[in-house]
Amino acid sequence: MLDNLTQRLARVMKTLKGEARLTESNIADALREVRMALLEADVALPVVKDFISAVKEKAVGEEVIGSLSPGQALVGVVHRELARLMGEAHEGISFATQPPAIVLMAGLQGAGKTTTVGKLGKFLKETQKKKVLVVSCDVYRPAAIEQLKSVAGQAGIDFFPSSAGEKPEAIALAAADWARRHYHDVLLVDTAGRLAIDEEMMAEIKRLHAALNPIETLFVVDAMLGQDAVNTARAFNEALPLTGVVLTKLDGDARGGAALSVRHVTGKPIKFAGVGEKLSGLEAFHPERMASRILGMGDVLSLIEEAKKGLDEEKAVAFAKKLKSGKGFDLNDFKDQIGQMRKMGGMTALLDKMPAQVAQMAGQLPVGAENKMVGRVEGIINSMTPAERAKPEIIKASRKRRIAAGAGVQVQDVNRLLNQFEQSQKMMKQLTKGGIGKLMRGMKGMLPGMGR
């Protein structure tokens, strides 16, 4: 999401070379670029101003020590500042109360509150083994209650029925009572979307908050939000004692400056990030990782976590052995690899988390090509017999025709795959000898031509 900002900063920092110390004049250009980049990323202007002046103050006079370039020294300062702005480490939902722990959701229309309720419910149920009840106090939008009911069903959590004719407070209190009597650990309260300037609606949610006295009041905010994020966040923060923020639609290509703005204005931790349309798409938000990611240091920690989730441990071990021996890497393994990459969210998701240089290189690919390509490759391999997969060299003209027909592709595509496979076999050997650097170089040659 924030990759454009990353690239931009990377470019700026290159221009700062060969200076012994950071001065007001030699970082002026760089800071202007940072300012532009942040503004383009929809970070609110007041936040940008504060940020730039803080960075300037800290950067000026900073010695460029040792092997660092001035650019790197400035990146260091920007990173520290950004990490500070993004806040402390992730905090989950607090359960420090007599059950049920009530969580109230608030936000603008279309921020993703209902979906987030479903995701959060599933998350709490599956990762923390909580008994979750959800209730909708949105008596305004048609079928909003219906939507939550259906979301709750998909998430496998309990749903407290309500109807559009009731008062939001009455619904919420009835649900809290029900949760108490049925030993639910958590009650998630969905509310109607509202504009911060809609006094009547803000008063309603204030009353709702007073009646429920929730342990968590989460502000759900769209990561794509523009400059107004500041005003909206401020208004909600003033109206309600917020305890945290949920950032939604983080998988879009918005640069997500709203995250910085909201954090800066409310001072409340961003607790979760919503990604993807599936109910499993809720991640703990890691401010320090986000700061690193903005600066192109790559979100390697998340990548490792993803890998752990997605990979079949046994297979990975077996594969590592094969890799080490440099022998026996056949099309079956190739297919497994593709499958595992899929599980980890596909190539795009992986590249997103890599350091800027790598992502930049891969970014030259046409968008979407890699996903399509992966599917096609899988199809071709699926059309082969086990013997062919184990020994691709036996595939000659007639087999190629059969495989092509089976996969619904041209013979050339089969040829291309076989060539690529040969290349990747070589790559695997390089990897065992030369490490990741060579591997990346190998990939560069291999990717763009694939799967047309």
Partner 1 sequence: MFSFFKKTGQEPQPPESAPASAPSWRERLFQGLAKTRAQWGGKLKTIFSRGKVDDELLEELESMLLTSDVGIEATQFLLDDLKGRAKRDKLDTPEAIQQALAGAFVDLVGPLEKPLDIENHRPFVIMIAGVNGAGKTTSIGKLAKYFQDQGKSVLLAAGDTFRAAAREQLQAWGERNNVTVISQESGDPAAVIFDAIAAAKARGIDVVLADTAGRLPTQLHLMEEIAKVRRVIQKVDPTGPHETLLVLDANIGQNALQQVKAFDKAVQVTGLVVTKLDGTAKGGVVAAIARQCPKPIRFIGVGEGIDDLRPFSAKDFVDALFE
**Cα(178)–Cα(210) distance, rounded to whole angstroms?**
18
Does position 232 bind partner 1 by CB under 8 A? Answer: yes
CB nearer partner 1, residue 197 or residue 387: 197
Q: Does 66 bind partner 1 (CB under 8 A)?
A: no
Which one of the spans 79-87, 92-100, 106-114, 329-337 is the region binding partner 1 (CB under 8 A)?
106-114
Which of 138, 130, 151, 141 is CA-nearest to residue 106? 138
Which of 3, 8, 30, 42 contacts partner 1 by CB under 8 A? 42
Contact status: 40 vs partner 1 (CB under 8 A)? yes
Q: Does 144 bind partner 1 (CB under 8 A)?
A: yes
Cis peptide before 366 (omega within 30 of 0): no
Q: Is 143 in the site for partner 1 (CB under 8 A)?
A: yes
Least Å distance, CB 351 to partner 1, is: 12
Upper half-sphere CA count for residue 428 (Cβ side, 13 Å): 22
Q: What phi and psi values does residue 274 have, to the nearest 5 degrees?
A: -95, 130
Q: How many angstroms separate the CA atoms of 75 and 56, rounded?
A: 12
**Contact status, residue 274 vs residue 281, Cβ threshold 8 Å:** yes
Give the integer Cα–Cα distance in Å for 303 and 292: 13
Residue pair 94/101 in contact (Cβ under 8 Å)? The answer is yes
Assign residue 345 a region: left if phi > 0, alpha if psi is -120 to 50, beta otherwise? left
Q: Does 226 bind partner 1 (CB under 8 A)?
A: yes
- Using the rule CB under 8 A, is 108 a contact of partner 1? yes
Q: Which amino acid is at 278?
A: K
Distance in Å, CB of 215 to partner 1, minimum: 27
| CB of 123 or CB of 319, closer to partner 1 | 123
What pairing do the DSSP bridges indicate for beta strands 270-274 and 282-284? Answer: antiparallel
Structural contact between residues 281 and 305, judged by C-beta atoms closer than 8 angstroms: no
Nearer to partner 1, 151 or 215 (CB): 151
Query: In terms of CB distance, is 23 or 371 closer to partner 1?
Result: 371
Q: Which of 20, 89, 170, 197 lies at the binding interface for partner 1 (CB under 8 A)?
A: 197
If binding is defined by CB under 8 A, does position 302 make contact with partner 1?
Answer: no
Give least dist CB 117 to partner 1, A.
11
Residue span binding partner 1 (CB under 8 A) among the ranges 120-128, 189-197, 287-295, 421-429:
189-197
Which of 249, 293 has the CB closer to partner 1? 249
Owner of token pair 């998350």: 123
64 versus 133: smaller Cβ distance to partner 1:
133
18: left (phi over 0), alpha (psi -120 to 50) or beta: left
H-assigned helices in 241-330: 257-266, 287-294, 300-310, 313-325
36 sits near partner 1 (criterion: CB under 8 A):
yes
Q: CB-based contacts of 415: which residues, under 8 Å, 6+ apart? A: 400
92 or 346: CB nearest partner 1? 346
Judged by CB under 8 A, which of 138, 190, 204, 251 binds partner 1? 251
Binding flag, residue 158, partner 1 (CB under 8 A): no
Per the structure block, which two tokens stand in for 44?
């609110």
Report yes or no: 287 and 304 within 8 Å, Cβ to Cβ: no
Q: Does 39 bind partner 1 (CB under 8 A)?
A: yes
**Number of chain positions touching partner 1 (CB under 8 A):** 53
Site residues (CB under 8 A) for partner 1?
36, 39-42, 44-46, 108-112, 114-115, 118, 141-144, 146-151, 154, 195-197, 222, 224-229, 231-232, 249, 251-255, 257-258, 276-277, 348, 367-368, 371
